[in-house]
Structures are given as structure tokens and as C-alpha cells.
Amino acid sequence: MADEETQSTFAKITGLVVAGAVAWIAGKAVDAAWKAASGHKPPKPEDDDDPRVAEVVAAAAITAAAVTVARVFATRGTKKFVERVDRNRRLPKA
């Protein structure tokens, strides 16, 4: 029972850290790509200037898509990693 709880806690913590890091990296990648393509940073809610609605919608859609795809791959990879760690912990000691 304790092993299952430890694995579950380990999986949750690892998944949270990896998903957060991957989402941050994806956001930074979108910012860099947007700046390279348009010459300026994507619009943010706290910007003083008044960006066009189409630009705001495009930036939001691209960022959301990139972050979602990155999180899916990170979650799958983390699940495989945790399963491998758990499987190695259960191997009999020689």
C-alpha cells in the first residue's frame, strides 16, 4: 500500500513539474516565433496599446495549441518514465 502511495505521489509531483516546465517552454517558443514572423511580441492582456482583435485571437489560439500539444507529449513521457521507475523498483534484488 505504501509503495502505491509513493508511486502515485512521485507521479503527481513529476507530472506537475514536467507539465509546468513544458508549458513555459512552449509559451516562450511561441513568443519567439511570433516575434520572428511579425517583428513584435504577441499581444498580452497588460499591453497599453490596442492590438487588433484578429491578432489577439490568433496569438491566443496558437499559444493554447502549442501548450496543449506540449503538455500531452510531456504527460505521456512522464507516465512512461514513472512506469519504468516503478517497474525497476519492483525487480527482485540479486
| pLDDT, tens digit, 9 for 90 and up, residues 57-88 | 888 899 999 999 998 998 888 888 888 887 87
pLDDT number for residue 65: 95
pLDDT number for residue 31: 92
The DSSP code sequence of 22-89 is: HHHHHHHHHHHHHHHHHSSPPP-TT-SS---HHHHHHHHHHHHHHHHHHHHHHHHHHHHHHHHHHHHH
